[in-house]
Amino acid sequence: MGRQKHVHMIITGRVQGVWFRASTKDVADRLGIKGWVRNLPDGAVEVDAIGDVKSMEQFIEWCYQGPPGAHVVNVEIKELEPVADFDSFKIVR
């Protein structure tokens, strides 16, 4: 396991009702990213994710695009200490 990167993101724009959470999980699973994604009451999507640096860079890049139908306006990223005990990537409510 290489160097880990842990980020918390708030993604705004047209990101609910466009399969953003399910698509985020698919991408995370493919890249070996662990963590979670959920919708926020204000229409944004929140992500807490950890993975190796190279995979996280690809994951973050994808979050700026989102799935077809999404229109991402902003991605607010906060880097955290790489300590988290996630065992998979989940969609939470």
Contact 18, 67 (CB under 8 A): yes
Question: Among all residues, which ones are annotated catalytic?
Answer: 21, 39
Q: What is the pLDDT of residue 1?
A: 54
What is the Cα–Cα distance from 83 to 68, expressed in whole angstroms? 32
> Which parts of the chain register pLDDT below 50?
none
Say how many C-beta atoms besides its own lie within 10 A of residue 33's C-beta.
25
- Decide the pairing of beta strands 34-39 and 89-91: parallel
Q: What CATH number does domain 4-91 carry, 3.40.718.10, 3.30.70.100, 3.30.70.580, 1.10.150.20?
A: 3.30.70.100
Give residue 2's pLDDT.
Answer: 74
Q: Give the total residue count for the chain.
A: 93
